[in-house]
Structure 1
């Protein structure tokens, strides 16, 4: 029995090897691709957090209440531990040990300096382990001291830059401090990130003014802190900082962190045994922005992944079906000799399991060894479904023999053209089409809220399968219609090739469904990828307003001429920006933008959303403020401007989105002086250094830099990489489907061509015959699938929302780029080349292939 099984394995080595290789590759991709994508999401989450995303618990207190709550360093540390115990799990997992500090309000240093100085006094227990004294000593103060100079320590770099030395006295108005030690940091540490004032001077503004000042922090000891709490009017800032360890942040944690941040705020505000505190962090906006981008990425990537799993499953079904077709004569003979269905299952399902199960395990192990990212449960589910699908085909092949006898092999014809579908199959096909339609309707109704729902991932597979059913229904009629036309041709190659294509059964036509799904995924990913790039291009024009935008504090005609004279500049349009203007009836501030719209449209026609009018335009917020009538706007330094809105404009380059602004002709504000100007610069290969030299001290916004920032977002690279890999994987799977069918059926086809060669068919005609046989499947499947892929973004509608990556601009132009079209043509040529290569490899000499009597 064992030798019979080995003979069966040797006889079917080609389909078994093909099934094993395909299962190995599919399992490897099912592990590596989701893990790699998840790792990309995690890297994007860490990048979105940034270096200053720490969580702070801050409170203000002074006098006896402050000292009673925090009398010592031990009490300060105990409160830090109490806050840590209140941290929700998701926040505790990504934060390090708490760091405590107490800081006094900034006092202005008495004296005459080049720039005013502000000095803070900081009690930083965690700083002492991270510094070394360059000169002097620790700033000891006598316990209970209430008068005299307070000893402090300052950074050596701070002292050198501002001219202080050891023993200097610094007068802070109501109090004076004396420098008792100069220190330097031991090494670079994340601790110093939010505490730059301790190491060197920083630029701050004096309270309630725009005057810049040099700010620094001097370190004090516990006795000095106790002295500060004796002043009931002095409010000290208590800060317990929880540094975020970005290296351990995962994308999935961010969903929970948004909710847990609110819970932590409630816990902090509800604490009754301490002075009032609140949570301060930059994570709120960053998490919401990241989650919006993550949601969009997972939606479109889920569509691509679902389609690829369907393609892989279709290819494995094809391989298992071809193996079943090779086993069909053997199963028929066994059934004719009295074998039961259970006995037939041993060779059929056993061979499939022998090829599929070890290959799936090996593929999973290889995927984990690649260490592309964290393991995903979805990978195990996908591999299990693929193995079950392959075994299911073998079970179906066994059930086909329940009628019994050799008649199951010799009498039935299931050619695509000749066979008539049963009622059961028609009902199943109809249910599949209805299910696809229901999935699309539900997906469009749920819109962007669908997210990573399995329904999103299933839509491409459902639509592809439904379209495949329709194509399979139309495929025989297309072949029948082409038959009479080819009979009129003088050559026999086209007619014979079409006849061979017509004699294929359902298993032989499975490549049509696989190719259709592969072309759908390739078309979808390439189309959305191109649309995303085009949307980011439009967004960069809308953000910048031209190839460059110069934001000048003030600009005269000479400055404008210098900008126009920069090498590469072909044109420049000046825009005057007047902020804080208002009407007499409503004092709500708004911005008046003076620009020659006709000249601006000629300068930068690529900027979207600029109405074709030369009158006054108002933003939606300004329209609600001004109303629909004529309004006069004015402010100091500007002559009153009468505004009669002729339309609305959603956004204008250089103005904040959803802000209140009015666009007026430049001539109406040309006489206003002392207001900033924007200069929109057009050109090709603009000399940026020369442009900066022509506008010294002014901010310059470059469109290419804005575009790089948009495309350089970590999640954008994950989406682009997934789309590129999805298109390549779809193409490779499609070619493997073609190659599989060609190789498995090559021996039988070789015997057929040997008969034709004996009748006079030449080698060249044999190559052409191979192309004609495969052409109907290629053209029908790839054509239908490619069209579905182009329409899929429109079909899925709001579920594919790329606005988080395009500055809010909707991406609607779903047209594949030139590389995608060239890739499609290359795939078709490769499929044709594979057909010719297999025909040549299995070309048999008629004298050796034909037996006596043939």
Structure 2
């Protein structure tokens, strides 16, 4: 008996090896998933930090620099030393929070004197002078040398493009101060020409250093600029920047009596481990807190009494203000946190799909192994063996496979990195190991052998299916109610809901798809031939037995379709979101606070049209009843200019139709006030009268031109009007203002060179370029990493699904083969046998394709706020869903090819089936 048992085990070795492989896979997936997600988050977080600090430093320190005392000795040299020393101290741990991960590295320290007028052979020029610690060294000069401090004669160095554009030469003298800053009178000499090859940050951040700029002459592109005149345009000077020594800048500063600004740009660098630690919710909070502490500690170290006021600090020999700290990193951290919280949902779906398919494959493998030994087990039960004893013996047979699979899975998971969840891996391995003993026990227990009544089985099945449907509905409701728990890491409910929805879909399909199959069988019964009738009837009858195959197909298809849907939506939606944020081909935010820069931008080369938009933040109330409506956003657009620039603008069309003002500003309202109401609001010490003349449509509220004004703080109640009706409102009273720029020839470097370096107390505004935003969206690795992770999970799930389906077809093949063999004894030919096999398999596959595709397309809507793609795309509303039609067709065609292959193999095997296979009756799987 022992020899017989060992022989049987040897016969099951292929299936037991398959179970061991599946155990290893499930162990690796369960154990490595947390570490893999952390690693993915760390890489995406590090990439986001690099991207956030690419165009500008992530951390900026600055001081306002006053004129040095007249008796100061070598103030320029002392200032250069002080700028270097402060930069070194800012990099040290003594000036940063001890909890700050990574290190702050000084990008550069820069001092700029803006807008000194001069005359060159190419015409008038406005020259800004800069000292930068990251300026080219000796080897970076193609002609001459670097500037040195020289009293009375500032030395300057220019780029090769500036030399050619302004017709300069080494040794040429330039008279500085003609019509420029009051009091500046000096003669500068050109001593060097430097190369601007490569991708240095200095060239990207200071385009005027690379090449001079001459704006287009005439009034071209100036429709939206206030007071633009062609004569003035024609006399506009070249804009350029040159390098000089700090002593020269201080000498000119003393002549003009200006207050300048010294800035240290710094970047936060994290290694891989630090990025992983900081990517989570707790890590981001700690990083933000450390940045705040650093912003408080560094000014104290620089000038510890400055915070008390009235105390003068020193930078070199120059009196200065205290050290001021600004950082753009908190905004990037918050944005990453919101997006990563939603991104985990996509990765969780991929892992859930993989786990469900692997588990189904393990169950099918166990059932196939059971079928090979079922006759032996029944014989042993007849001789007195217990069902529990047989199950325990089966567990002992598969124990080596468990240990081997567990070891292999944990070894594979450990290669992912730190944070491996060994406990989860062990639980997954034990669960996979117990499948075969459990199915063995339930197959040979007394109730199974005695053929339990069909009514009792149907009752329990109905209860189980109802419970499963309720559980799936409850999971969806829970996710929609509370959203995801992104702050606590991977969400088990988020991973479980797709599996529950897959099971619920299978339950519905098993109940529903036999009905049309039976109707087709009835129609076939009225026709000649019995092949279609028998095939369709068996397909309908065997529907419950095909539940595992349906589950594998439905979950795999749903995961793949869902991934393609999300990837397509993000690709299209992020591009649309970028267009919405910019609002035009370019946008200058803060135009109302810097009208001179806005005027220059509107007349820049390549700009064909421009239009202004702005927002007032008011708290209106009903003029009659006094009822308050709370904080409301009053948006204004330059209607005429916007209609010229964007003829299809919905906002411009509705504001153009507003009635003429009768003393009150006509507005369109969305939320809050009703049509016909008169409102009043306090603004700048006077009352602003408003009249609601219509309802603001969704199309107008979602107009691209209003995109630059939309911020997370924007109130839900909106009013829209023409800016002409708000002429009496001062520019500094606008909460936000933007200048929209349109033109096919817009160049980013030209526009950026026109946003001047202003005085320390004036904001230069923010310039958004559509091409740059689209590039930034395309280069963002977060979405790409999430999509790649989900695709990898789905690809592995597809491989396992093929394995599971092949095993399931092997499991059900004997029953189909015996039916075909009996019919062959009645004269059934090969072609009719193939049709019979096809009709038995095709309904299940069609049901799976329809159900899986429908579930994948419905998942974003079912999950609701648990998967908010607006965090990735931006924009005024939900991004339109874009399904990957090609992927869906390929998956459906793949299922069809699988069925065709199975039919061909079974037909070929049927030719070799003898009469003995037909006469073996009494099988339970028949």
- Do Structure 1 and Structure 2 share a fold, with TM-score over 0.5? yes
Secondary structure of 2:841's aligned partner = helix
Q: Counterparts in 2 of 1:428-467, with a 5 A limit? A: 429-447=465-483, 453-467=491-505
1:7 paired residue number: 7
How far apart are residue 797 of structure 1 and its match? 1.6
How far apart are residue 329 of structure 1 and its match? 3.7
Distance 1:251 1:81 in 2: 27
Distance 1:408 1:626 in 2: 71
Distance 2:537 2:186 in 1: 103
Residue among 343, 346, 349 paired with 1:303: 349
Distance 2:539 2:452 in 1: 15
Deviates more, 1:814-823 or 1:609-618: 609-618
TM-score (normalizing by structure 2): 0.65
Pair 1:214-2:239 in alignment: yes
Against the structure 1 CA distance between its residues 810 and 718, is the aligned structure 2 distance closer, same or farther, given a 3 Å change threshold?
A: farther
How far apart are residue 749 of structure 1 and its match? 4.8
Deviates more, 1:706-715 or 1:290-299: 706-715
Secondary structure of 1:106's aligned partner = strand
In structure 2, the gaps of 5 or more residues are 178-182, 216-231, 304-320, 589-607, 621-633, 660-665, 680-689, 711-718, 725-738, 746-767, 922-926
How far apart are residue 449 of structure 1 and its match? 7.1
Q: Counterparts in 2 of 1:525-674, with a 5 A limit? A: 525-529=563-567, 590-594=636-640, 615-616=657-658, 645-648=693-696, 649-658=700-709, 662=721
For the 8 Å contact 1:90–1:257, the answer to whether it is kept is no
Secondary structure of 1:774's aligned partner = helix
TM-score (normalizing by structure 1): 0.70
Distance 1:380 1:495 in 2: 53
Pair 1:279-2:325 in alignment: yes
1:139 paired residue number: 148
For the 8 Å contact 2:342–2:486, the answer to whether it is kept is no
1:697 paired residue number: none
Secondary structure of 1:117's aligned partner = strand
Secondary structure of 1:741's aligned partner = helix
Distance 1:845 1:138 in 2: 94
For the 8 Å contact 2:552–2:805, the answer to whether it is kept is no
1:242 paired residue number: 266
| Per-residue CA distance 1:552-571 (angstroms, 9 max, x = gap) | xxxxxxxxxxxxxxxxxxxx
Against the structure 1 CA distance between its residues 703 and 171, is the aligned structure 2 distance closer, same or farther, given a 3 Å change threshold?
A: closer
2:202 paired residue number: 192
Against the structure 1 CA distance between its residues 621 and 117, is the aligned structure 2 distance closer, same or farther, given a 3 Å change threshold?
A: farther
How far apart are residue 461 of structure 1 and its match? 1.3
Against the structure 1 CA distance between its residues 36 and 8, is the aligned structure 2 distance closer, same or farther, given a 3 Å change threshold?
A: farther
Against the structure 1 CA distance between its residues 241 and 816, is the aligned structure 2 distance closer, same or farther, given a 3 Å change threshold?
A: closer
How far apart are residue 129 of structure 1 and its match? 7.8
Deviates more, 1:830-839 or 1:165-174: 165-174
Deviates more, 1:161-170 or 1:35-44: 35-44
How far apart are residue 135 of structure 1 and its match? 3.7
| Per-residue CA distance 1:447-474 (angstroms, 9 max, x = gap) | 4776863322322112222343455566
| Per-residue CA distance 1:463-501 (angstroms, 9 max, x = gap) | 222343455566788888988777776644355446655
Against the structure 1 CA distance between its residues 616 and 308, is the aligned structure 2 distance closer, same or farther, given a 3 Å change threshold?
A: farther
Distance 1:359 1:384 in 2: 10
Count of matched residue positions in the alignment of Structure 1 and Structure 2: 766
Against the structure 1 CA distance between its residues 593 and 508, is the aligned structure 2 distance closer, same or farther, given a 3 Å change threshold?
A: closer
| Per-residue CA distance 1:640-696 (angstroms, 9 max, x = gap) | xx998443220434454547864799xxxxxxxxxx99999xxxxxxx89xxxxxxx
Distance 2:185 2:655 in 1: 64
Residue among 518, 524, 530 paired with 2:562: 524
1:396 paired residue number: 438
Distance 1:305 1:16 in 2: 24
Distance 1:88 1:352 in 2: 56
Secondary structure of 1:280's aligned partner = strand
For the 8 Å contact 1:203–1:215, the answer to whether it is kept is yes
Against the structure 1 CA distance between its residues 761 and 40, is the aligned structure 2 distance closer, same or farther, given a 3 Å change threshold?
A: farther
Secondary structure of 1:616's aligned partner = coil
Against the structure 1 CA distance between its residues 705 and 76, is the aligned structure 2 distance closer, same or farther, given a 3 Å change threshold?
A: closer
In structure 1, the gaps of 5 or more residues are 142-147, 552-573, 632-641, 666-675, 681-687, 690-700
| Per-residue CA distance 1:741-760 (angstroms, 9 max, x = gap) | 11244356545543443344
How far apart are residue 833 of structure 1 and its match? 0.8
Distance 1:318 1:302 in 2: 24
Distance 2:770 2:260 in 1: 45
Distance 1:812 1:268 in 2: 38
Against the structure 1 CA distance between its residues 200 and 815, is the aligned structure 2 distance closer, same or farther, given a 3 Å change threshold?
A: closer
How far apart are residue 122 of structure 1 and its match? 2.4
Pair 1:512-2:550 in alignment: yes
Against the structure 1 CA distance between its residues 461 and 809, is the aligned structure 2 distance closer, same or farther, given a 3 Å change threshold?
A: farther
Root-mean-square deviation (Å): 5.9
Secondary structure of 2:899's aligned partner = helix
Secondary structure of 2:105's aligned partner = coil
For the 8 Å contact 2:114–2:129, the answer to whether it is kept is yes
Against the structure 1 CA distance between its residues 615 and 510, is the aligned structure 2 distance closer, same or farther, given a 3 Å change threshold?
A: same
Against the structure 1 CA distance between its residues 285 and 121, is the aligned structure 2 distance closer, same or farther, given a 3 Å change threshold?
A: same
Distance 1:728 1:314 in 2: 16
